[in-house]
Amino acid sequence: MAVLLPFFLSAQNYVQQIEQYRQEQLLHLNQKSKGPVAEQNLVYIQHFVPQEVFRAEANVEYLYNEPTFRMPTLDGTSKTFKRFALLHFSLQGKSLTLTAYQSVGILSTQVSPYLFLPFLDLTTGETTYESGRYLDVKISDIQADKLILDFNKAYNPYCAYSSGYRCPQPPLENFLDVAIEAGEKKYTGPKHQREQDNSMAKNFNDGEKELILSGGENDKMYVLQTTVEKDSIILRTLSDDIKFDDPLLPVLASRMLATVQNPEQAGVGIAAPQVGVNKNAIWVQRFDKEGSPFEFYINPKIVWRSKLLRKGAEGCLSIPDRREDVIRNYSIKLQYTSKEGKTVDELIEGFTAVIFQHEVDHLYAILYPDRLEEQQSKDIVPLAEKIEFSIEKGTILP
């Protein structure tokens, strides 16, 4: 049911509160505050007029013993959540339910005090952002199994304004069969391309330094295995950007190369987490270049993925005795930091693009079996009879 405001909170005061909330949001969105929108483009951020009918009281049905799952993000990766509660409420005479999610870290104790409510509704793709909108509430806002949902505070994910962000896609269970003409409207301004922010990059921690220096520059490193519990924790931990001028980075790069080229377990790519270092660095064999050289990449990000997909067999140095067909984007746009600290963009396609996707996934604690689970729920349209691909005779296939 819709919630009537207390008598001391007039409709005028409520509108003022919402407008003040929106002004605070604009400050965070401004690029001057490290947000995704240039100051001159803030005028393109528009909202519906605040209406109290879109403020509802929900009955909270707690969910227990829910497993964690990976919610796909708009950049092609995913984030880990668990279903926390079902929120039952009414809007426009309809009984509706939203699932509230809780962000979860690799350890069960790493849970957020906030609840995340991504949703789609009948305005999605029309007057509001085509990939849905978000609401955030605190768990402490729940009182006597009741929670106020104010859709006048619904906002767009950063991906509506700029590339380079990891915005979760609302699950289908959070589609609301009503038109929620409240909160933020579709952004109509120019979309920004986010560049690397090296200010958040870190040096190696003491444990990583010890590991890197545990052998000579040309000595291979132990490759972590998913079958070993302590290894799996590291493989399932998000990695941080590394400072491009860290003095130990060349040593790590040399040892990683020796590892991936080790004849006993040779691969076509390797990521730093696979050798126990949760920093964003990878080696990739460039089959798209003459001589198929291995190249080292610092803080790689995939900022664009093609709609065209390809299926191919993949294995992983960290997953023993498995090799399966995985669906990947045919081409990508990669952004990374050069050895001189400059941001570099590059378009890559084919099998080499697959290697990049596989290795960058490691940096986000994603393993290729996670991709297998994702593709089971996706409808793929084969193009074999619609588009004919070919190569010149004599071309070397990777």
Residue 362's domain is classified under what CATH number? 3.90.45.10
In angstroms, rounded to a whole number, what is the distance separating the alpha carbons of residues 309 and 378?
12
One domain, residues 162 and 20? yes
One domain, residues 129 and 263? no
In angstroms, rounded to a whole number, what is the distance separating the alpha carbons of residues 43 and 24?
14
Domain presence at residue 384: no
Domain boundary among 133, 164, 193: 193
The first and second tokens of residue 69, run together, are: 């799952």
Q: What is the pLDDT of residue 5?
A: 53
List, by residue number, the catalytic residues: 359
Domain presence at residue 394: no
One domain, residues 292 and 186? no
Backbone angles phi, psi at 374, to 5 degrees: -60, -45
Domain presence at residue 396: no
Domain boundary among 177, 193, 209: 193
Q: In sequence order, what are the residues at sequence separation of 6 or more whose Cβ sits closer than 8 angstroms to the Cβ of residue 165?
A: 36, 74, 75, 157, 158, 159, 194
- C-alpha distances (whole Å) from 133 to each of 79, 238, 359 are 17, 25, 30
CB 93 within 8 A of CB 187: no
Domain presence at residue 398: no
SS3 230: helix
In angstroms, rounded to a whole number, what is the distance separating the alpha carbons of residues 275 and 231?
9
Neighbour-count burial of 67, counting CB atoms closer than 10 A to its CB (0-12 exposed, 13-18 middle, 19+ buried): exposed
Q: What is the pLDDT of residue 7?
A: 41
Domain presence at residue 3: no
One domain, residues 330 and 271? yes
Domain boundary among 193, 215, 234: 193
One domain, residues 116 and 139? yes
In angstroms, rounded to a whole number, what is the distance separating the alpha carbons of residues 284 and 274?
14
Q: What is the pLDDT of residue 138?
A: 94
One domain, residues 224 and 159? no
pTM for the predicted model, two decimal places: 0.77
Domain presence at residue 332: yes
Domain presence at residue 389: no
Domain presence at residue 354: yes
Task: Quote the crossing angle between the two packed helices 350-363 and 368-376, to the nearest 10°.
Answer: 110
One domain, residues 129 and 171? yes
Q: What is the pLDDT of residue 102?
A: 94
One domain, residues 107 and 247? no
Q: What is the pLDDT of residue 18?
A: 94
Which residues in the chain show pLDDT less than 70? 1-11, 106-110, 385-391, 394-398
Structural domain range at position 53: 11-193
* Number of structural domains the chain divides into: 2
One domain, residues 144 and 218? no
One domain, residues 88 and 150? yes
In angstroms, rounded to a whole number, what is the distance separating the alpha carbons of residues 398 and 391?
13
One domain, residues 301 and 210? yes
Q: What is the pLDDT of residue 398?
A: 46
CB 171 within 8 A of CB 69: no
Region label for 273, one of left (φ > 0), alpha (ψ between -120 and 50) or beta (otherwise): alpha
One domain, residues 298 and 181? no
